[in-house]
Structure 1
Amino acid sequence: MTIDQEVDQELVDAAIALARARFPGQEWSGAAALRLDDGSVLTSIAPDFPNNAVRLCHETGAICEAFKLGRRVVASVCVTLADQGRGYWILAPCGVCQERLFAHGPDVAVAVPQGADPRHWRSLRLREVQPHWFGRVFPEDGWPY
């Protein structure tokens, strides 16, 4: 079986479906979807804690689940409901999630907004999103960690 190592519409739709199911009718919602090296898809959301300092990213739950399963992440997407419910925007992974995903190698595909409308997206490798990542100075360290 060939595993799609790009962010594709199936992955985006999985994240949107979770956001809609978990937060029906709310003004704000979001979720993430990750594809693993066996082709399976994990989805997760960010818990809402009263203290903003302990909040987590949408990707965190699925990244932890992949680790629990002993699987490698090959693609990741995060979505959030656009202003006034005009569809879902694609969010590039934050710096913390980039670090978490880099544990799976520099070729993990991530969705990033394309152009002025963040409802449009493209798939890039982490190495393209962050070409000066600090781990590149340690070439003896193999991927993935």
Structure 2
Amino acid sequence: MTAIAVDQELVDAAIELARTRTPGREWSGAAALRLDDGSIVTGIAPVALNGAVQLCHETGAICEAFKRDRRVVASVCVLLADQGRGYWIVAPCGVCQERLFAYGPRVEVGVPEAADHRRWRSLPLSELQPHWFARVFPEDGWGYPAAE
């Protein structure tokens, strides 16, 4: 399977959800995932009184992909930045990396450029996390079947 890079359409889908769902909020963000059929699903973190039970922006979108029985091929998360003038791209946290690894090491994720966090590049999970613990298991024995 050819890698599908994070692109502007995916970034824009995440930004649009953050802008429309949480307008004017001091802290906002969202995620967008591209599925193997080309569709895009988005997610946003619900607010919880107990911060220990909050979820990541990617979680709802990952659940939607699972519900549709589709593979995730690319993922990006954005956060409000620059005093509300723009959005930063953020790499998936460790927990979301684990969730995305269920779809294989070739899932592309957006990572920020060091000089400007509004700019990004696309990396496969295998490069983002080269020492992932499950590499010791056969590829066909972990998570979703290997992509063809």
TM-score, scaled to structure 1: 0.94
Amino acid at match of 1:109: E
Distance 1:67 1:121 in 2: 26
Q: How does 1:77-88 map to 2 (within 5 A)?
A: 77-88=76-87
How many residues are paired up? 144
1:97-130 Cα deviation digits (max 9, x unpaired): 0000000000000000012221110000000000
Q: Aligned pair in 2 of structure 1 residues 129, 107: CA closer, same or farther (>3 Å)?
A: same
User: Which blocks of at least 5 consecutive residues in structure 1 are unaligned?
Assistant: none
1:35-73 Cα deviation digits (max 9, x unpaired): 000000000100000001100000000000110110000
Amino acid at match of 1:14: A
Q: The residue matched to 1:59 in structure 2 has which SS?
A: helix
| Structure 2 partner of 1:136 | 135
1:77-113 Cα deviation digits (max 9, x unpaired): 0000003113100010000000000000000000000
Once superposed, what is the RMSD of the aligned Cα atoms?
1.7
Q: The residue matched to 2:48 in structure 1 has which SS?
A: coil
Q: Aligned pair in 2 of structure 1 residues 26, 143: CA closer, same or farther (>3 Å)?
A: closer
> Mean Cα displacement is larger for which, 85-94 or 133-142?
133-142
- CA drift of 1:25 comes to 1.8
1:3-43 Cα deviation digits (max 9, x unpaired): 87110000000000000000112222100000000000000
| Structure 2 partner of 1:61 | 60
The answer as to 2:67 corresponding to 1:41 is no
Q: Aligned pair in 2 of structure 1 residues 25, 55: CA closer, same or farther (>3 Å)?
A: same
Q: The residue matched to 2:134 in structure 1 has which SS?
A: helix
TM-score, scaled to structure 2: 0.92
CA contact (8 A) 1:3 1:39 kept: no
> Mean Cα displacement is larger for which, 68-77 or 83-92?
83-92
Question: Which segments of structure 1 move beyond 4 Å, counting only runs of 4 or more?
Answer: none
| Structure 1 partner of 2:95 | 96
User: Which blocks of at least 5 consecutive residues in structure 2 are unaligned?
Assistant: none
- CA drift of 1:143 comes to 6.1
